Amino acid sequence: MEVFRICGGNSLSGVVNISGSKNAALPQFAATLLSSERSILKNVPNLSDVRFMAEILSELGAEIRKVDDTTWEINPANISYKAPYELVRKMRASICLLGPLVGRLKKAEIPMPGGCVIGQRPIDLHIRALTRLGANIELQKGIVKVEGKNLRGNKIFLGGRHGSTVTGTTNAIMAAVLAPGITTIDSSACEPEIIDLCNMLLSMGAKIRGIGSHSLEIEGVSKLSGCHHTVMPDRIEAATYAIAAAITQGKVTLDGAKPKHLGSFINVMQESGISMDIHQSDQIKVYLNNGELNSLEIITLPYPGFPTDLQAQSCALACRAKGLSILTERVYPSRFMHVPELMRMGADIAMEGASSVVKGKSKLTGAPVMASDLRASAALILAGLAAEGESWVQRIYHLDRGYDAFEKKLQALGAIVERVPESKLPKSFSTN
């Protein structure tokens, strides 16, 4: 097992290239199963979750070949409907295999997936969608068994307790594109990753209208072809590096980022005194105005609201801001496991229900901390970059699920950070 060692205090400077989106790539790997023909996916990030998904597709019978660092070839001519437990349990996003397997093979068996835990993330809306399309679903010994030989278009409503479901929407779309008749999906998620998936499906021959809205209309077709598709840039990675620039009072250019995907985040950052100059359609320069960071007011919401996947990183930033910042979590109300670890670094944070109230400080102090999930990992590393002294971030395997070459990109910007074996931890630190 490995840890991050960070020596804080350096202002970051330079250009960072934004990788392809994890949250777009994973359902797109699944979508290749909708056709029996070969597909090529480009701009795929090098992440453990992507490798897990490739392994799952291979176990299902697809021929998988990594062409180069960012390009994968998938030939799913002969596939099974049973997903392997040992791989599915490692990654929650594997649930997005349900839609394409049922759509193409008319049946699926998928164990309840695992992955990082950030509160209850049920699959009831996935089941609702497939049931509305005519599928019969049973839960047996932790396995979701779906029979869909009578799949047909229908009306689906995907509104949930905390808003639309992104993976539920992807499953509904992928099951519907091969279902005879017309399917309407109301209260669908409209994240850029959903749009990217729909554009990929259009290139495969699907018929989808209303892309980018909360209401989709899908006309089922009898067959889809393979495709060549380029994965969109990762908006969460781009925003994380923007926060890295601000928290270290640096100046960083995000190359390959899409400003149109970051509207709510850009607004919040600008209101707090962070300049985000858009030079091109895919380039943003980030720096602090007058070197002063004002307090943050954030409420996480489904897209186009402020992303829940940036709440933890923003909490780290708020620790350096002037005055009181309030961050309210409306998507996953229990997503605050990073707070106690930030407090170990000297952060002044009080919890009030689903909100963290952060009293900004002029400095944080390096400390040993423990990552609880993917975005918490990033938050603790960002805090370490701004802290005085040495920080050690443990359980960074979470980080490798969602950030491509994170420490290398930070090093290129001037950060003092390295990945070292856990055995290098000072003996006074405990991993328990």
What 3-state DSSP class applies to 220? Answer: coil
Q: What would the pLDDT profile of 286-342 be if each residue is shown by its tens digit?
A: 999 888 899 999 999 999 999 999 999 999 999 999 999 999 999 989 999 999 999
pLDDT category at 145 given cuts 50, 70, 90 is very high
The pLDDT value recorded for residue 112 is: 85
pLDDT category at 279 given cuts 50, 70, 90 is confident
The pLDDT value recorded for residue 102 is: 98
Q: Rounded to two decimals, what is the model's pTM?
A: 0.95
- C-beta separation of 410 from 12 below 8 A: yes
- C-beta separation of 105 from 81 below 8 A: yes
Q: Which amino acid is at 63?
A: E
The pLDDT value recorded for residue 159 is: 86
Q: What 8-state DSSP symbol labels residue 78? A: S
pLDDT category at 430 given cuts 50, 70, 90 is low
Of residues 268 and 119, more confidence is placed in: 268
How does the average pLDDT of the chain come out, rounded? 94
What 3-state DSSP class applies to 327? Answer: strand
Closest CA to 47 of 16, 27, 25, 64: 25
Region 369-382 average pLDDT: 97
Of the ranges 122-136, 166-180, 201-215, which one carries the lowest mean pLDDT score?
A: 122-136
The pLDDT value recorded for residue 201 is: 98
The answer, yes or no, to whether residue 105 has pLDDT greater than 90, is yes
The pLDDT value recorded for residue 12 is: 98
The pLDDT value recorded for residue 432 is: 45
Structural tokens at position 10? 């350096």
One-character DSSP codes across 348-407: EEEEETTEEEEE--S--B--EEE--SHHHHHHHHHHHHHSBSEEEEE-TTTGGGT-TTHH
Region 399-408 average pLDDT: 96
The pLDDT value recorded for residue 431 is: 47
Do 22-230 and 2-19+234-424 have the same topology in CATH? yes
State which CATH number among 3.40.980.10, 3.20.20.80, 3.30.70.260, 3.65.10.10 fits the domain covering 2-19+234-424: 3.65.10.10
Q: For the sheet containing 143-147, what is the strand order?
A: 107-111, 143-147, 136-140
The answer, yes or no, to whether residue 274 has pLDDT greater than 90, is yes
What 3-state DSSP class applies to 412? Answer: helix
For 405, other C-beta atoms within 10 Å of its C-beta total 15
Domain ranges within the chain, ordered by starting residue: 2-19+234-424, 22-230
Q: What 8-state DSSP symbol labels residue 10? A: P
- C-beta separation of 385 from 244 below 8 A: yes
Percent of the chain past pLDDT 70, that is, above it, reads 96
CATH topology of domain 22-230: UDP-n-acetylglucosamine1-carboxyvinyl-transferase; Chain (3.65.10)
The pLDDT value recorded for residue 163 is: 63
The pLDDT value recorded for residue 117 is: 52
Catalytic amino acids?
116
Of residues 332 and 15, more confidence is placed in: 15
Alpha-carbon distance of 247 to 119, in angstroms, equals: 27
Alpha-carbon distance of 194 to 212, in angstroms, equals: 8
